Amino acid sequence: MTDSDYTFSTTLQWAQLPIRIRFAPAKFGGVISHLELRSDGPNPITSTGYRSHFVPCGTIEAEGGPEAFTRAWLAEAEASEEWQEHLARSRQGDLFGGGWNAFTP
């Protein structure tokens, strides 16, 4: 996808981590929307800092737009057992493996 495909771009702050959002509301003949998230580290949605998400057109707008959709998605994922375990490992340290790659939403 080219930069011109995206009609919305912003950066939101989540837990002191900037997350860049780009949104293309109508791709592939107008049948699907694309949301792209990038951050410099893991967050509850992605262990790598990158997420490409496709949904039917109108889905993200119905949830209040790309930023509201992303904030709701983060809030839901933040409550997951996997993310809570990741946070605990991050605070404690992990001498036997796991590390960042152990978190896979």
Identify the CA nearest to 21 among candidates 33, 29, 90. 33
Task: State how far the Cα of 55 lies from the Cα of 62, in Å rounded to an integer.
Answer: 12
Sign of CA dihedral 43, 47, 49, 50: negative
* Tokens found for residue 81: 């057992």
- pLDDT tens-digit series, residues 42-52: 899 998 999 99
pTM: 0.80
The answer to whether 39 touches 99, Cβ cutoff 8 Å, is no
- pLDDT tens-digit series, residues 39-78: 998 899 998 999 999 999 999 999 999 999 999 999 999 9
* Tokens found for residue 35: 């949301």
* Domain positions in the chain: 3-93
The answer to whether 33 touches 23, Cβ cutoff 8 Å, is yes
